[in-house]
Amino acid sequence: MAGRDLVKPPRLRPGARVALIAPSAVLLERDDLARGVELCRALGFVAVLGRHAGARHGYLAGTDDQRLADLNAALGDDSIDAVWCLQGGFGTTRILDRVDFAAIRRRPKPVIGYSDITALVNAIALEAGVIAFHGPFACDPFTGFTRLHFERVLCMAEPAGAGEPPAASAAVVVPRHGRILALRDGVAEGPLVGGNLTLLQALLGTPFQPDFAGAILFLEDVHEDLYRVDRMLAHLRLSGVLGALAGVAIGRFTEMKRQTAGGALAFDEVLETYFAPLGIPVAHGFPIGHIEDQWTLPLGVRGRLDAGAGSLTILDAAVS
């Protein structure tokens, strides 16, 4: 992915038909489907619910065949303008080897999600050569901040980090969650790659491992103990992918347990262990992850990380 230009899907316009699907975990709230439909309407889109979106198979939103059927139907339906995942959880990697990448290559369209959907959006960028989007779920709370960045990336055929007013720029808008801190100053440019750390680790050594060469890696996670984050970062280092990066933008690792029976380390100490020796720009605290105010990031689009300024700018339009 890092070494080739990806196809830009068409931008989302008023009246766009958006497939709402659940390729991972079961929807636990009865009104999750209704919230997704209402959000689409509020954004000016037409919601098209996947046939099995409300299904249940243990902790999954239906059997593997059911979830795959909804995904491939949405990818292959020329009347569908975008595929928006309702939530993550677990289950995408169970069906990844049977996704119809040829369908989205034939008829590019935005596919949107994060967390467990990290596996799907990275695979689409790699296998189909189409820009995919690490962004909020259709069931998520949609703050003004989240909506601003979602619409700038998906509805406007211009760089999301450029233009006036400054408050519309992904480079300068900082959400209420806190400051962005530099681990190592510097400026780097490269294609954006990343998402949920657990899922990126799960893709290592598979045909769907992203291309990290020259990329700006962004990371997030939730409900992971710090020692597990430490171990996953060690795996990335041992696999050699960290040494290929141009820069690193760390998002939010929410609901993290830092203490073990043997003691504790600070999150900053763990990050420094793996990223400081790389000699590349690294900053953490970006609005990426399981938070209400979050960015929508297009995988494969060039970005510029200025660690000292605490900015990550999308340099190219992600949609046509």
Picking from 242, 236, 201, the residue whose alpha carbon sits closest to that of residue 118 is 201
Instruction: State how far the Cα of 30 lies from the Cα of 277, in Å rounded to an integer.
Output: 48
DSSP state of 3: T
Q: How far is Cα 56 from Cα 167, in angstroms, rounded to an integer? A: 42
Task: Count H helices and E strands in the chain, helices first.
Answer: 9, 15
Catalytic annotation, pick one of 24, 52, 115, 284: 115
Between helix 226-239 and helix 267-275 the angle, nearest 10°, is 0
Q: 290 catalytic, yes or no? A: yes
Is 220 labeled as catalytic in the residue annotation? yes
Q: Identify the active-site residue in 52, 134, 149, 290.
A: 290
In Å, what is the CA distance from 119 to each residue of 95, 112, 209, 229? Answer: 10, 12, 9, 18
- The CA-based angle 170-298-86, given to 5 degrees, is 105
239 is a catalytic site residue:
no
Three-class secondary structure of residue 203 per DSSP: helix
Q: Distance (Å, rounded) from C-alpha 282 to C-alpha 223? A: 23
Tally of residues, the chain: 320
Residues 214, 20: Cα–Cα separation, whole Å: 33
How are beta strands 263-264 and 132-134 bridged, if at all? unpaired
The DSSP secondary structure of 57-126, one letter per residue, reads BTTBSS-HHHHHHHHHHHHH-TT--EEEES--SS-HHHHGGG--HHHHHHS---EEE-GGGHHHHHHIII
Catalytic hit among 24, 134, 220, 284:
220
By annotation, the residues acting in catalysis are 115, 220, 290
